[in-house]
Amino acid sequence: MNGDPQRRLNPQDYKTLSLAALGGALEFYDFIIFVFFAGVMGKLFFPADLPEWLRQMQTFGIFAAGYLARPLGGIVMAHFGDRVGRKKMFSLSILLMALPTLLMGLLPTYAALGVAAPLLLLLLRILQGAAIGGEVPGAWVFVAEHVPRRRIGFACGTLTAGLTVGILLGSFVATLINALISGQDIVRWGWRIPFFLGGVFGLAAMYLRRWLRETPVFLEMQARQMLAKELPLKSVIVNHQKAVILSMLLTWLLSAGIVVVILMAPLWLQQQAGVPAALALEANCLATIALAAGCVVTGAVIDTLGAGKTFTYGCLMLAVFSWLFYHAGGGHPLQLFVAYGLAGFSVGVVGGVPYVMVHVFPAAVRFSGISFSYNIAYAVFGGLTPIFVTLLMKITPMAPAWYVLGLALMGVALGIFLPADLRRILPLGDRINSAA
């Protein structure tokens, strides 16, 4: 990928990885904090006489708009990332997230602005979606092109763990605010605090990223005049269909693990297993920590065993432990914590997804290829999965278990058929130049 493939990680590598993971965690916090205060914001940004179901639908519609904006923002930023530099877009993405988050905390409510209030909220949410669409693929490419080739899995897994910590941070801040501030004060002013925090910390992370260096791979392509001659996205669609399909399927697996097992499970535990809300959230925090650990472990393992064996064995673990969680997690609290912790750790197999993506696209269109595949797939599967699983629950309350099981078995199949050398997926000419 770059430099001496056998060298160890040096202090500059650790600095790059730390700053990338920190920024990614704060961006994910900014993107996800909305959902923890959706109930309060629905009351503040829509007319009081609206039926509750309609208010909730409109509020979550604004939340979903962020997912729908991800592909456009990601593709545009990736285009310039492949043409003018990874670092510039890496810094832009965090600025594009921090400012809208800060402005959300300053927004007047419906009582002050009328219909303009939810429209402004929608606009800011779209900007957040565009930012996260560029951040995740950009971060994966950035760290993969900095570290030694034999440590790419560990770097990508660690970065993905950092992104999941952003979800945990959002849950922690929401829990803390609800514990320290009364319900009335949260409605009056407390809901603004997490947005202020996200905006300020995001701007601080953007300042820290100024110390990062452009990737050696991009600098070498620039020096050799090997940058994409045509529109990078056109090259991705025309020449790299296999890589796109594989990346989209792996993103589907990633979205199933994160959305169903981590984000949707607390509500499922409360409604279907009768678990108290506080206990469900505590177990969710443990599962998220276990997920972060699983991502790091998967990254380290994939550097040794390769993608095929890692996904085969890892997805088998996901199938077993997620099934165990949904069928035994509603019992004694200790049983819940053990089952949910194991399920969260097994979801960590998704930490190997970026390892595959950065290998199956050549350097000249790597950012665009990953961004297009990941963001389109996540917009579709991440957006539709909650609706689909909720509809299936009318047939069986174990719908989440069956859904994750099906995707885990797909992951096993992908692992079995992945070539030992992922560059074999590339066309011959790109395969020759993919180690630039």
Cα–Cα distance measured from residue 10 to residue 393, given in angstroms and rounded to the nearest whole number: 50
Closest CA to 29 of 135, 126, 167: 167
Query: What does CATH list as the number for 1-227?
Result: 1.20.1250.20
pLDDT given for residue 436 in this prediction: 40
Fold of 233-436: Growth Hormone; Chain: A; (1.20.1250)
Domain boundaries, the chain: 1-227, 233-436
pLDDT at 433 over 80: no
Per mean pLDDT, which range of 177-186, 350-359, 411-420 is the poorest? 177-186
pLDDT tens per residue across span 387-397: 788 888 888 98
pLDDT at 172 over 90: no
pLDDT given for residue 106 in this prediction: 93
CB 49 within 8 Å of CB 110? no
With pLDDT > 90 as the criterion, what percentage of the chain qualifies? 33
Buried b / exposed e over 374-388, threshold 16 CB at 10 Å, is bbbbbbbbbbebbee
CB 241 within 8 Å of CB 270? no
